[in-house]
């Protein structure tokens, strides 16, 4: 079967669903191809920074995410070694006033957000095909995507193929686009819990105690996404059938008042660990192909900017495609330059936060104590979890 579309989007996650919606609403014939039939609960970004919320608003997708269960957070605290626990919470930063008109960062479960955006794309007129297996992408002046759905092979010809297929992007490999990466610094894992009703639903935290960097982001109604950063040498720490219990045990923290509400919560997913390194592409496009989101390179999750990066990619690429009919590679030079500068700044911020929060040697412990003593409590909160990244890319 041979079809023709304006845009074929490989990957129906956050980026694919959002871009499919934006382009279909503008009248472009859009196809979204997604390998899953049900989005799995894996360790993915579920926190959208203030500047990412702005991008969602510009795309007309903020209300979609909010209706799907998006939950704003109003305070950020950075407890940890060398900080009085009560004082850490008392000095929590007010997140509601950092950016005018933005109620705070937005949390939403990743599978729910993917489904909401894919549904929005379909409602806007995009053709959304789930449960497909993409087997070939041909680039050039007349790009094509070949895929199987069930036992039927199809080939679609597009004016442009969008790679929104994540870190191991097949589209990126097919286009011969080189992925660059920093050395792995630490490991990062996440766990979704429920029944954490004793934890304040407006409070996010990030800090370091002992041999873990801990982060918690409420999603409302007693659900909280928890994250742990830990040393590469402990690569088997969160493996095996009792991994959720060992993950939660790490949240029995002396530095965090109320942490028992997190440690005693009910796990509703399994922890999966990922290396933290940043990746990027110097040129996230080729003839007939453009990459967005993690396919074009991802930031260290320690500062949680991944969803915001993806939404900005979507908005930039959508604006370019809707600006005219000439979709040659030169059109995306500005996108590549702007994205490259964003990622450069975010890599710098992430490297600072990783050195401060996700190193666990005696020297790192002493460095944290000295930093906290010199900088003062409130300033620490403003750099913790990379909140300075808001201004670095906004």
Looking at the structure, do residues 170 and 256 belong to the same domain, yes or no?
no
Give the pLDDT score at 388.
43
- Long-range CB pairs of 233-238, under 8 A, 24+ apart, other chains included: 234/187, 235/187, 235/273, 237/187, 237/273, 238/189, 238/271, 238/273
Considering the domain boundaries, does residue 203 fall inside one? yes
Looking at the structure, do residues 134 and 229 belong to the same domain, yes or no?
no
Domains held by the chain: number: 2
Residue owning tokens 């193929």 = 161
Tokens of 385: 């979890």
Looking at the structure, do residues 159 and 128 belong to the same domain, yes or no?
yes
SS3 label, residue 31: strand
Dist CA 223 CA 266 (whole Å): 9
Tell me the CATH number at 95: 3.30.9.10
Residue 181 has pLDDT above 80, yes or no: yes
How do residues 271-294 score in pLDDT, each as one tens digit?
Answer: 989 999 999 999 999 999 999 999
Give the pLDDT score at 179.
97
Considering the domain boundaries, does residue 58 fall inside one? no
Looking at the structure, do residues 20 and 128 belong to the same domain, yes or no?
yes
Q: Which domain holds residue 36?
A: 2-41+110-182+278-349
Considering the domain boundaries, does residue 66 fall inside one? no
Considering the domain boundaries, does residue 56 fall inside one? no
φ and ψ of 168, to 5 deg: -100, 45
Give the pLDDT score at 394.
54
Looking at the structure, do residues 289 and 308 belong to the same domain, yes or no?
yes
Looking at the structure, do residues 292 and 213 belong to the same domain, yes or no?
no
Dist CA 284 CA 334 (whole Å): 11
Closest CA to 158 of 33, 34, 29: 29
Considering the domain boundaries, does residue 284 fall inside one? yes
How do residues 10-60 score in pLDDT, each as one tens digit?
Answer: 999 999 999 999 999 999 999 999 999 999 988 788 999 999 999 999 999
How do residues 70-125 score in pLDDT, each as one tens digit?
Answer: 999 999 999 998 899 998 899 899 999 889 999 999 999 999 999 999 999 999 99
Considering the domain boundaries, does residue 46 fall inside one? no
Looking at the structure, do residues 115 and 29 belong to the same domain, yes or no?
yes
Given phi > 0 = left and psi -120 to 50 = alpha, else beta, which region is 251? alpha
Looking at the structure, do residues 221 and 210 belong to the same domain, yes or no?
yes
How do residues 114-135 score in pLDDT, each as one tens digit?
Answer: 999 999 999 999 999 999 999 9
What mean pLDDT is predicted for residues 170-183?
A: 97
How do residues 301-356 score in pLDDT, each as one tens digit?
Answer: 999 999 999 999 999 999 999 999 999 999 999 999 999 999 999 999 999 999 99
Considering the domain boundaries, does residue 137 fall inside one? yes
What mean pLDDT is predicted for residues 154-178?
A: 97
Looking at the structure, do residues 160 and 208 belong to the same domain, yes or no?
no
Dist CA 186 CA 188 (whole Å): 7
Considering the domain boundaries, does residue 318 fall inside one? yes
Looking at the structure, do residues 268 and 201 belong to the same domain, yes or no?
yes
Tell me the CATH number at 136: 3.50.50.60
Looking at the structure, do residues 216 and 252 belong to the same domain, yes or no?
yes
Looking at the structure, do residues 35 and 138 belong to the same domain, yes or no?
yes
């Amino acid at each position: 079967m041979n079809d023709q579309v304006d845009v074929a989007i490989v990957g129906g996650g956050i980026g694919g669903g959002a871009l499919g919606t934006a382009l279909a609403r503008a009248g472009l014939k859009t196809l979204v191809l997604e390998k899953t039939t049900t989005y799995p609960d894996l360790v993915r970004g579920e926190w959208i920074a203030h500047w990412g919320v702005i991008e969602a608003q510009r795309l007309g997708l903020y209300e979609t995410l909010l209706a799907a269960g998006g939950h704003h957070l109003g305070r950020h605290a950075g407890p940890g070694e060398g900080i009085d626990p009560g004082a850490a919470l008392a000095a929590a930063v007010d997140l509601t006033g950092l950016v005018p008109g933005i109620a705070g960062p937005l949390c939403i479960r990743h599978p729910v957000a993917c489904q909401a955006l894919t549904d929005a794309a379909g409602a806007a007129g995009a053709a959304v095909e789930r449960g497909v297996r993409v087997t070939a992408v041909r680039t050039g002046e007349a790009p094509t995507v070949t895929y199987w759905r069930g036992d039927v092979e199809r080939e679609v010809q597009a004016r442009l193929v969008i790679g929104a297929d994540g870190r191991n992007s097949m589209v990126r490999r097919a286009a011969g686009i080189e992925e660059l990466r920093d050395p792995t610094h630490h490991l990062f894992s996440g766990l979704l819990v429920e029944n954490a009703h004793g934890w304040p639903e407006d409070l996010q935290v990030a800090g370091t105690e002992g041999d873990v960097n801990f982060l918690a982001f409420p999603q409302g109604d007693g659900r909280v996404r928890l994250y742990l950063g830990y040393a590469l040498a402990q690569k088997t720490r969160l493996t095996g059938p009792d991994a959720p219990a060992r993950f939660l045990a790490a949240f029995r923290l002396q530095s965090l008042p109320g942490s028992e509400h997190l440690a005693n919560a009910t796990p509703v997913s399994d922890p999966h660990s990922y290396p933290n390194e940043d990746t990027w592409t110097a040129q996230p496009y080729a003839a007939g192909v453009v990459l967005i989101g993690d396919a074009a390179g991802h930031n260290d999750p320690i500062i949680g900017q991944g969803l915001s990066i993806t939404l900005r990619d979507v908005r930039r690429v959508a604006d370019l495609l809707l600006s005219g009919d000439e979709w040659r590679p030169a059109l995306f030079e500005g996108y590549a330059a702007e994205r490259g500068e964003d990622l450069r700044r975010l890599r710098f911020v992430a490297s600072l936060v990783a050195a401060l929060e996700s190193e666990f040697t005696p020297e790192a412990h002493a460095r944290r104590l000295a930093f906290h003593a010199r900088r003062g409590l409130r300033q620490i909160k403003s750099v913790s979890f990379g909140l300075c990244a808001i201004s670095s890319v906004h």
